[in-house]
Amino acid sequence: MIQELKEGYGHIFEEALINEIVQVGTFKEVSEGYKLMDIGEYVRGMPLLISGAIKVLREDKDGDELLLYYLEKGDTCSMTLTCCMGDSKSEIRAIAETDTKLIMVPVQKMDEWTAKYKSWRNFIFESYHNRLNELLNTLDSIAFDKMDMRLISYLKEKARINDGNIIKNTHQEIAYDLHSSRVVISRLLKKLEQIGKIELHRNYIEILTL
């Protein structure tokens, strides 16, 4: 675990902090689709991603989901940190987008490391900054972009996260992520196929050029 942690965070954290993380952290290896956190749960630890990707979702009053952002290697979730520090329930849902390795850091260490390690403080502040920018980008997309542009951006990001041009999500799953309907998403995907941007298959979508 320590070698993987150094590869992901060695350029951020000093060795003393990495050693502490190894001592108190809990290593987890989860499969694609695994629900790491759900809305309404108390948060007792903060994730540090070693490999893979996690998608973070919000839910409206009707139970419909909206994709907020992805977490990748070297990231953490500032919303999780906020819940940890405030001993409050989670307002997000976190699901493994790919097979993922991570270390869960106990909440009791948050304040201690913030005072003890400058690198930890900088990491937390940068995480807040990055997640805020991603949330603003999501808000701008909803407010200003048409659904076809949002869908193209979504497909591009999916391909980047999965490091390939094959997307295995169903039309309904994409609709959930984009807070739309399956009928609308299917129509837009068919339109993209007709102009040669993608190719639709029985169980997956192949990106040709976006």
Specify the higher pLDDT residue, 113 or 7: 113
> How confident is the model over 108-165, as pLDDT tens digits?
888 889 899 999 999 988 888 888 888 888 888 777 778 999 999 999 999 999 889 9
Maximum alpha-carbon separation in the chain? 57
For the chain, the 3-state helix, strand and coil shares in percent, each to the nearest 5, are 45, 25, 30
Q: Which two tokens stand for residue 75?
A: 């990231």
- CA distances to 42, 107, 156, 185 from 52, rounded to whole Å, are 24, 23, 17, 26
- CATH superfamily of the domain spanning 2-143: Jelly Rolls (2.60.120.10)
Domains 2-143 and 146-207 share a fold: no
CA–chain centroid gap for 145, Å, is: 21
Among 132, 163, 166, 137, CA closest to 150: 137
Residue 130 has a CB neighbour count (10 Å cut-off) of: 15
| The pLDDT value given to residue 86 | 63
Percent pLDDT > 70 in the chain is: 97
Q: How far apart are the first and last CA of the chain?
A: 38
Fold for 146-207, please state it. Answer: Arc Repressor Mutant, subunit A (1.10.10)
Percent pLDDT > 90 in the chain is: 49
Beta bridge partners of 46: 105
pTM given for the model: 0.75
Beta bridge partners of 55: 70, 95
Domain boundaries, the chain: 2-143, 146-207
Listed in sequence order, the residues at least 6 apart from 200 whose beta carbon sits closer than 8 Å to its beta carbon are 189, 190, 193, 206
